[in-house]
A = this chain, B = another copy of it.
Amino acid sequence: MPIIEQNTVSALNKAGGKGEIFITHLLTPNEMLGKCQMFARVRIPVGASLGVHQHIGNNETYYILQGTAAYTDNDKVYAVKAGDTTFCADGDTHGIENIGDDDLIFIALIINTK
């Protein structure tokens, strides 16, 4: 079957963030062949966040599908909305918080740099 079974996991206070977030993995490690580490749809309910954390050995892209967020890039904070793409390079830190009235939903892609 070419249609992949998805696997949703939840995490509480992820990277020191607030509340519970939900990560739906769209690919398994087998399909990513060591090139990527995660390809997922992330849902962050109202008021919750994914805490600021550093990426070492990989970079991460978020493509915002729905909602409004405060995106922290190293020491600066940016407002992001549906349609925006954010990029955290290897060695940088980032985090994201739902500051809107609806679920924040985005695609997350982690590409290994080594």
In the docked arrangement, what's the CA distance between A80 and B2, Å? Answer: 10
Query: Which A52-85 residues sit within 8 Å CB-CB of chain B?
Result: 59, 61, 63, 65, 71, 73, 78, 80, 84-85
> Are A3 and B36 neighbours in the complex by a CB distance under 8 Å?
no
Which residues of chain B have C-beta atoms less than 8 A from A61's C-beta? 4, 26-27, 31, 39
CA distance A31 to B59 in the complex (A): 8
A15 within 8 A of B: no
Determine if B80 and A111 form an interchain contact, defined as CB atoms under 8 angstroms apart.
Answer: no
When chains A and B are docked, how far (Å) is the Cα of A8 from the Cα of B11?
35
Q: In the docked arrangement, what's the CA distance between A63 and B33, Å?
A: 18
- Our pick among B31, B33, B88, B111 for the contact of A2 (Cβ within 8 Å) is B88
- A1-44 to B contact mask, C-beta < 8 Å, 1/0: 11110100000000000000000001100011101100101000
Given A26-B61, A39-B109, A107-B63, A86 and B2 contact (CB-CB distance below 8 Å): yes
Known: A27-B87, A31-B87, A113-B33. A2 touches B73 (CB 8 A): yes
With A and B bound together, what is the CA distance between A111 and B109 in angstroms? 11
